[in-house]
Structure 1
Amino acid sequence: MNRLSRSVIVLQMLAGIGTVLAGAGVAAAADALAKPDLNRGQTIAVQVCATCHGTDGNSAGGAFPKLAGQHADYTVKQLGNFKTQPGTKQPERKNDVMAPFAAVLSEQDTANVAAYFASQQQTLGFASDNALVAVGQRIWRGGLPEKGVPACAGCHGPAGAGIPAQYPRLAGQWSDYTIAQLRAFAQGTRNNNVPMSQIAARLSDHEIKAVAEYISGLR
């Protein structure tokens, strides 16, 4: 996606989110978050997030992640990481497309949209390269002890379901998206998880592709 395309998406979607937020008169205090409102979350998802992530959190391709079925706490954390926090010069997770949207979401609406996506059913993914899958499966289940790489399943679970509030669901995620994130961790352009940065830096590009391919077919 080129810079002009990103700019157009940002401007169109910010206009949408401004309308949504203004129409609802959002004013939830950060220290008094209510129970997540799935209807409100759906409104934001459909009117703001759908262009990239789909109305139900199932994106059309690997340029954008599937959010359906993702743990709400993880999505909340990521949206917070896109924001520049007080006392810092840049966000922990730099993303020129996501930053403007995260910045204008209240804490309540962040919780609302995260809960809505968590409640949705993720579409099944499929792996297509058997040779890569075999390598990825070995890394997922047993790691690479000679490189100091732990088994992915140790944190994300044997089936990639993750653990709420700790580790994200990965099963069925687009391989292209997983490759991009592992590369970003390895290269230091994504800095919001120190263990993942260390692990990804020890993987070759072939191993990154293999793990991503295996993840795409997990269910």
Structure 2
Amino acid sequence: MSFRYVIGMAVLLGAGMAQAADKPVVGDATAGAAKAATCGACHGVDGNPASAQYPKLAGQGEAYVARQVDLMKTGKRQNAVMMGFIANMSVQDMHDIGAFYAAKTSLPGVADTKLVERGQALYRGGNADTRTPACMACHGPDGRGNPGAVYPQLGGQYADYTSAKLKAFRDGQGFSDDEHGKIMTTVAKPLTDADIAALASYIEGLHAAAAKTAEVAK
């Protein structure tokens, strides 16, 4: 066996391993159903929790769910409660669970009618005075997000949860190693408590039908 042959095989093997490493992980919703069983205690069996303190995961993008679990597992997003459930999860596990929730449907919420006008204005038009961009630019007119760009679904999310997250971002408590988190820290900085309350309420009542109505009304 020649030296050149050995080197050539090593190069080919290395290239093959690199291609395998670069191959994107694809989730299996069926496998994810079993793996997400323990998640149901807080997030609901179908990703629609009974308590507003937990986020709705139903309809959330696979890549987004996997990314957030990874951030928490590595300590880049702090969540002490979650650590006990995700400490031993593999990347495949994260994507399988993400695929399971992506196949579910988020139950629509109801917005406070007193806050709809202000919330809608901020969500769809932003605030030029404070240079706050429109939320729908990234999260979509119906709040379904952008799975390809890993922007999360917001429509139907509990107002209490959204409000808490917006305040955390505004106060500089975003996710340390997440580019989208850094963007949100900047976006949320000018928001007042009243802005956040209006946005969070509007988002809870936001879904496809509500978005279509808003577009027609323009």
TM-score (norm 2): 0.79
- Aligned counterpart in structure 2 of residue 144 of structure 1, from 127, 130, 133: 127
CA contact (8 A) 2:43 2:55 kept: yes
Instruction: State the Cα distance separating 1:211 from its structure 2 match.
Output: 0.4
Q: Write out aligned runs for 1:98-137 (5 A).
A: 98-127=82-111, 129-137=112-120
Distance in 1 of aligned mates of 2:168 and 2:148: 22
Instruction: State the Cα distance separating 1:121 from its structure 2 match.
Output: 1.4
Distance in 2 of aligned mates of 1:37 and 1:168: 20
CA contact (8 A) 2:110 2:204 kept: yes
Q: Does structure 1 residue 174 correspond to structure 2 residue 153?
A: no
Q: Does structure 1 residue 203 correspond to structure 2 residue 191?
A: yes
- Aligned counterpart in structure 2 of residue 159 of structure 1, from 130, 142, 163: 142
- Aligned counterpart in structure 2 of residue 53 of structure 1, from 39, 43, 49: 43
Which residue does the alignment assign to 1:14?
Answer: none
Over aligned residues, Cα RMSD in angstroms? 1.6
- Aligned counterpart in structure 2 of residue 37 of structure 1, from 4, 19, 28: 28
Distance in 1 of aligned mates of 2:148 and 2:65: 9
Instruction: State the Cα distance separating 1:35 from its structure 2 match.
Output: 4.0
CA contact (8 A) 1:94 1:190 kept: no
CA contact (8 A) 1:94 1:189 kept: no
Which residue does the alignment assign to 1:78?
Answer: 68
Instruction: State the Cα distance separating 1:33 from its structure 2 match.
Output: 7.0
CA contact (8 A) 2:27 2:62 kept: no
CA contact (8 A) 1:143 1:150 kept: yes
- Aligned counterpart in structure 1 of residue 59 of structure 2, from 49, 55, 69: 69
**Count of residue pairs the alignment pairs up:** 182
Percent identity over the alignment is 42
Distance in 2 of aligned mates of 1:198 and 1:158: 21
CA contact (8 A) 1:125 1:172 kept: yes
Spell out, residue by residue over 1:132-181, the C-alpha distance to the aligned partner (whole angstroms, 9 max, x if none): 11111000111011011001111111111111132111000000010011
Deviation above 6 Å: which 4+ runs of structure 1? none
Instruction: State the Cα distance separating 1:61 from its structure 2 match.
Output: 2.1
CA contact (8 A) 2:174 2:184 kept: no
Structure with max Cα Rg: 2
Which residue does the alignment assign to 2:200?
Answer: 212
Cα–Cα, structure 1 residues 181 and 153, in superposed 2: closer, same or farther, change >3 Å? same
Which residue does the alignment assign to 1:96?
Answer: 80
Q: Structure 2 stretches of 5 or more lacking a match?
A: 1-19, 208-218
Distance in 2 of aligned mates of 1:147 and 1:60: 36
